[in-house]
């Protein structure tokens, strides 16, 4: 059987061995409820608090600012709905971008139905939101700015720090939320430097298991919880903490290679891919050269994304179809970037992890050339 080439790491990653070991260890030995008063509870609580320290240190936060959740989606929902519930008397404008993940877009849409005014900032050709547009949109009525760190389809790195400055300059009673799911573990993150009040991340994008994430809430900032009950996570997220997965998340963070060195290696693979794809007349790179090198959106013009995806799968190569979207509308992100329909319908998202190499690019390119020869060119 051919070697497996997994290039869909923005969808999810394989759990690393350190993370799996940490989950197992906890399931077998530290399975107590961290809220229990006896020693078994205490052992579990120690694991939980150690993990909180690991996460906090990684983003320059204090442990008490980290709230564990089940995933990035839950963190985003909590940040957005929790802010809106708490601040609705102070204003009703929410500023976000037109290219957020559905866990943000669908949540602000819900608030829009409830009477909030939602401003969705456009992007330029590179997929980035313009800093000036952020400054223009944030006014004294704004209670929340939600802007992602890295776009999950294009890899565009968003001007989060500019949003912090815009809030300060306008005197808006706004909190700044950042969906950092695709940047976490790839770009060094400092919550102070970004100037965020709230930041979401998810374990399964960095080789931890699925089912665990966290929300950073800056010390002194209050939002309403979504889940109420036993008051776990200081009342912000009731429900018994999943200590084994949280332990696995912390282990995955500890197992990450030094971020800057890894970034350079990934940049090198990305540059290599760009050069290889240039050999073909019909493979076009949609991601901007200054995008996060872990995500590269390409189009194989004339060939439908899904057809290519399944052809590649038959060669043991796994990618994501950039245009997978309800009702055959095509990717709203690529549409925002001004790409034409033909290019959008033939888009593929390649997303990398530390386990990928240049050899994977060669195998992908070979398989794409084979697809172009074998498959009928669709009329798109
Ligand atoms: N935000 C972004 C940018 C994402 O790419 C994703 C998942 O792909 C999420 C949020 C949701 O994360 P989760 O799958 O942990 O709910």
DSSP string, 24-38: HHHHHH--S-TT-SS
- State the average pLDDT over residues 20-28: 98
pTM of the model: 0.97
**Which residues lie with the beta carbon below 6 Å from any ligand 1 atom?**
71-73, 76, 101, 103, 148, 152, 179, 181-182, 202, 204, 213
Residue 224 scores a pLDDT above 50: yes
Q: How far apart are the CA of 237 and the centre of ligand 1, in A?
A: 19
Atom of ligand 1 nearest to the CA of 74: 16
- Considering all CA atoms of the chain, what is the largest pairwise distance in Å, rounded to the nearest integer? 68
Distance CA 247, CA 26 (A): 7
Atom of ligand 1 nearest to the CA of 210: 15
For ligand 1, atom 10, the nearest C-alpha belongs to 72
Q: How far apart are the CA of 13 and the centre of ligand 1, in A?
A: 12
- State the average pLDDT over residues 129-143: 97
Residue 380 scores a pLDDT above 80: no
Pick from 107, 152, 153 the residue to mutate for probing ligand 1's pocket: most ligand atoms within 8 Å of its CB.
152
Confidence at residue 325, expressed as pLDDT on a 0 to 100 scale: 44
- State the average pLDDT over residues 61-83: 98
Q: How far apart are the CA of 11 and the centre of ligand 1, in A?
A: 8
- Using CA atoms of 192, 196, 201, 207 in order, give the dihedral in degrees to the nearest 10: -30
Confidence at residue 1, expressed as pLDDT on a 0 to 100 scale: 55
Distance CA 308, CA 236 (A): 44
Per-residue pLDDT tens over the stretch 143-197: 999 999 999 999 999 999 999 999 999 999 999 999 999 999 999 999 999 999 9
Per-residue pLDDT tens over the stretch 322-378: 644 444 568 999 999 999 999 999 999 999 999 999 999 999 999 999 999 998 776
Tell me the average pLDDT of the chain.
Answer: 96
Q: In what order do the strands lie in the sheet with 175-179?
A: 66-69, 213-217, 198-202, 175-179, 142-146, 93-97, 117-121
Side-chain-facing half-sphere of 364: CA atoms under 13 Å: 32
Confidence at residue 128, expressed as pLDDT on a 0 to 100 scale: 98
Contact residues for 306 (Cβ-Cβ < 8 A; gap 6+):
321, 323, 324
Phi-psi label, residue 155: left if phi above 0, alpha if psi -120 to 50, beta otherwise: left
- State the average pLDDT over residues 263-272: 98
Pick from 73, 184, 252 the residue to mutate for probing ligand 1's pocket: most ligand atoms within 8 Å of its CB.
73
Side-chain-facing half-sphere of 100: CA atoms under 13 Å: 31
Q: How far apart are the CA of 29 and the centre of ligand 1, in A?
A: 31
The tokens for 109 are 């849409």
- State the average pLDDT over residues 99-112: 98
Q: Which residues are catalytic?
A: 325
265-269 own/partner pairs: CB under 8 Å, 24+ apart: 265/354, 266/186, 266/293, 266/294, 266/352, 266/354, 267/293, 269/293, 269/352, 269/356, 269/357, 269/358, 269/361
């Amino acid at each position: 059987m051919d070697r497996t080439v997994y290039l869909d790491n923005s969808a999810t990653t394989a759990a690393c061995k350190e993370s799996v070991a940490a989950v197992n260890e906890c399931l077998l030995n530290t399975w107590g409820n961290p809220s229990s008063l006896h020693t078994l509870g205490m052992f579990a609580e120690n694991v939980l608090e150690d993990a909180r320290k690991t996460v906090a240190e990684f983003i320059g936060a204090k442990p008490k600012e980290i709230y564990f959740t089940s995933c990035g989606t839950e963190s985003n929902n909590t940040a957005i709905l929790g802010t809106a519930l708490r601040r609705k008397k102070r204003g009703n404008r929410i500023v976000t971008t037109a290219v957020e993940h559905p866990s943000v877009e669908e949540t602000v849409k819900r608030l829009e139905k409830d009477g909030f005014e939602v401003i969705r900032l456009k992007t330029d050709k590179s997929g980035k939101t313009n800093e000036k547009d952020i400054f223009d949109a944030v006014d004294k009525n704004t209670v929340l700015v939600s802007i992602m760190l890295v776009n999950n389809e294009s890899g565009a790195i968003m001007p989060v720090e500019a949003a912090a400055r815009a809030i300060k300059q306008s005197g808006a009673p706004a909190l700044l939320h950042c969906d950092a799911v695709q940047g976490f573990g790839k770009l060094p993150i400092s919550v102070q430097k970004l100037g965020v009040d709230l930041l979401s991340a998810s374990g399964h994008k960095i080789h931890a298991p699925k089912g665990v994430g966290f929300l950073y809430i800056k010390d002194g900032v209050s939002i309403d919880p979504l889940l109420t009950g036993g008051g776990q996570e200081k009342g912000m997220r009731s429900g018994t903490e999943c200590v084994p997965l949280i332990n696995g998340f912390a282990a995955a963070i500890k197992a990450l290679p030094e971020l800057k060195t890894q970034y350079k290696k990934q940049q090198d693979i990305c540059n290599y891919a760009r050069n290889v794809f240039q050999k073909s007349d019909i493979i076009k790179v949609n991601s901007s050269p200054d995008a996060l090198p872990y995500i590269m959106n390409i189009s194989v013009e004339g060939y439908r994304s899904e057809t290519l995806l399944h052809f590649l799968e038959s060669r043991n190569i796994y990618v994501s179809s950039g245009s997978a979207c309800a009702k055959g509308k095509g990717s709203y992100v690529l549409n925002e970037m001004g790409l034409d329909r033909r290019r959008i319908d033939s888009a593929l998202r390649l997303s990398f992890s530390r386990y990928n190499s240049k050899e994977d690019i060669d195998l992908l390119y070979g398989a794409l050339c084979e697809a172009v020869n074998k498959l009928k060119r669709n009329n798109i």
